[in-house]
Structure 1
Amino acid sequence: MLIKKTNDIISKQWYYQTNPAHREIWMRHPRSSLYIIPYWIAFWGGMGYASYYLGRMVIGKKE
């Protein structure tokens, strides 16, 4: 009876350690840009939104 390995840690470790592109660990997976790019857009959009209204609050302008 053959047992199928569903969690092959050694092959995953080999993939991440021998990736020829010297990128950060979170950008090494082929689909990582699908997750990281929208995250950064939302993060910097939220920071810009908060900074804009913080500046308006400091100078005393209301909506």
Structure 2
Amino acid sequence: MHIRIVVKTDAFIRARVTKGYSQRELARHTGLSHAYISLMERAIKSVGPSTAKRLSEALEREVDELFYINMA
């Protein structure tokens, strides 16, 4: 089984901005690169389960609020 996790762009950006983080600040807080955050927000890059969890925790939101989880 393959799991594909894609960001819910509007919800994710709204959560990031509400938290007061720029893409660079979120990258610093999560240990991810700014480029990765940018690609993810444009739905070009999917994320793994641990990355989705890390981002959700940093933004203080539930994973399913911020990401679509597709299992194939």
Please tell me the TM-score bracket, short chain as reference. Answer: under 0.3
Higher strand residue share = 2
| Structure with max Cα Rg | 1
Higher helix residue share = 1
Normalised TM-score (structure 2): 0.25
Normalised TM-score (structure 1): 0.28
